[in-house]
């Protein structure tokens, strides 16, 4: 089954291309913020809702006005896509997946999306609209054979790095089936404990660079606003943030890919990270570890490669239930890493015991469709929202 898949590469534009991209980013940001203001005012003042069709007509009129004629200097396609992105942001808000859309800022990451009629793809070279030369792309991995991008998104992060994402259709072959199943207990002391007995340590990427980041942030705060030195200090802070995020993403991708390749069924807990970060003492460590991104990667990779991801209910007492006899402790504080069952006398490692319980409950949900507690979720290949959308 063909699925849409994005391939991301580093780009090094020429000075002329940088200038055109800066203009395009600025126009996309202006159109997005303008449309957000229009939608908000129309709803609260006139009790009307504006959608992409109405905003597109208003954008055409806006480009004809004398004070905003500079919008015609860039390709019209990224501007129209900015309106579609705003519609998607409101859809995510109304469906509870995101907060209310906010205005885009100049110093944050910038992006522009080009559809097939706004770029030229020929023999592996990509030329965007309003550009005379192809982009210099670092092909860190090959595209699928005979793949033709349906859209491309070029981004510039806060550290002034340029990336391009090529959206292509690919026939992703499922991995050979096997009988292996594993339970994974996510934690802070160790990133994940597996029911096989393996424990993957928590790299703590942010904690390792926290002192360097704090020093860079103090230096940035002391610079005069609007000066070149302040801008240099800002870029240094951004590079440190990017270095932390890149290492975390690389770690999560390698671990999630290994688990998907080695196991047919992976069982995890469905954690409420949004609520957990409200704990003032653990918020920084929880944000650093990246549980949500890890589970998200497991989910879409399971769809791609024909694996099964089972999410058990977050309230299931996996840590304080004895895997051998089922005895349930009245309480088990976080500082207790090992405990002995008072019923059967078996000595447990807290995390390994939890992983074994998660595996047992997950296999029950997968085999029988039974929930030990309400809310257990089973994800079969092709059943996620991402895969359903790609198959349309």
Which residues belong to the active site? 185, 269, 351
Strand partners, 192: 186, 200
Structural contact between residues 79 and 130, judged by C-beta atoms closer than 8 angstroms: no
Q: Which residues are CB-neighbours of 192 under 8 A, at least 6 positions away?
A: 184, 185, 186, 199, 200, 255, 294
The torsion angles phi and psi of 62, rounded to 5 degrees, stand at -65, -40
Distance in angstroms (rounded) separating the CA atoms of residues 352 and 344: 17
7 strand-pairing partners: 166
**Dist. CA 216–CA 158, nearest whole Å:** 15
**298 within 8 A of 309, measured Cβ to Cβ:** yes
Residue-wise over 110-145: b if at least 16 C-beta within 10 A, else e? Answer: bbbbbbeebbeeeeeebebbebeebbebeeeeebee
Residue with tokens 């309230």: 315
Residue owning tokens 């704990």: 279
Contact status, residue 110 vs residue 158, Cβ threshold 8 Å: no
With contact defined as beta carbons under 8 Å apart, do 63 and 72 qualify? yes
> How far apart (Å, rounded) are the C-alpha atoms in residues 323 and 343?
12
In sequence order, the β-bridge partners of residue 379 are 309
Strands (DSSP E) contained in the chain are: 2-11, 110-115, 119-122, 125-128, 137-138, 151-156, 162-171, 181-186, 190-194, 199-201, 265-269, 308-312, 338-340, 347-349, 377-379
Q: What are phi and psi of 307, to 5 degrees?
A: -100, 175
Residue with tokens 């997950």: 362
- Least Cα distance to 179 among 308, 60, 58 occurs for 308
Distances (CA, A) of 18 to 15, 21, 65: 5, 5, 27
């Amino acid at each position: 089954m063909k699925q849409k898949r994005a391939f991301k590469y580093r780009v090094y534009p020429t000075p002329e291309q940088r200038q055109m991209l800066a203009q395009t980013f600025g126009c996309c940001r202006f159109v997005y913020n303008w449309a957000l203001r229009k939608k908000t005012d129309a709803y609260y003042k006139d009790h009307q809702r504006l959608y992409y069709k109405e905003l597109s007509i208003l954008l055409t009129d806006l480009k004809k006005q004398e004070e905003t004629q500079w919008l015609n200097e860039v390709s019209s396609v990224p501007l129209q896509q900015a309106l579609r992105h705003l519609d998607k942001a409101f859809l995510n808000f109304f469906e509870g997946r995101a907060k209310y859309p906010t205005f885009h800022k100049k110093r944050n990451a910038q992006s522009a999306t080009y559809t097939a009629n706004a770029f030229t793809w020929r023999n592996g070279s990509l030329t965007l609209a309003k550009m005379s030369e192809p982009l210099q792309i670092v092909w860190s991995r090959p595209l699928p054979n005979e793949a033709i991008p349906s859209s491309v998104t070029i981004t510039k992060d806060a550290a002034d790095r340029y990336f391009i994402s090529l959206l292509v259709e690919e026939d992703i072959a499922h991995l050979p089936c096997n009988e292996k199943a594993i339970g994974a207990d996510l934690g802070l002391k160790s990133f994940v404990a597996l029911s096989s007995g393996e424990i993957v340590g928590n790299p703590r990427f942010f904690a390792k660079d926290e002192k360097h980041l704090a020093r860079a942030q103090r230096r940035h705060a002391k610079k005069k606003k609007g000066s070149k030195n302040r801008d240099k200090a800002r870029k240094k802070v951004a590079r440190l943030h990017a270095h932390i995020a890149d290492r975390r993403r690389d770690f999560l991708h390698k671990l999630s890919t290994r688990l998907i390749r080695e196991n047919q069924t992976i069982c995890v807990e469905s954690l409420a990270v949004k609520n957990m970060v409200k704990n003032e003492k653990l918020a920084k460590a929880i944000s650093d570890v990246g549980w949500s991104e890890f589970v998200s990667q497991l989910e879409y990779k399971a769809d791609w490669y024909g694996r099964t991801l089972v999410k058990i209910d977050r309230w299931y007492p996996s840590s304080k239930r004895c895997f051998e006899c089922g005895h349930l402790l009245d309480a088990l504080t976080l500082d207790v890493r090992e405990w002995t069952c008072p019923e059967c006398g078996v000595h447990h490692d807290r995390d390994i015991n939890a992983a074994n319980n998660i595996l047992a409950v997950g296999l029950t949900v997968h085999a029988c469709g039974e929930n030990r507690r309400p809310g257990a979720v089973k994800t079969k290949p092709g059943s996620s929202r991402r895969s359903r959308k790609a198959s349309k």
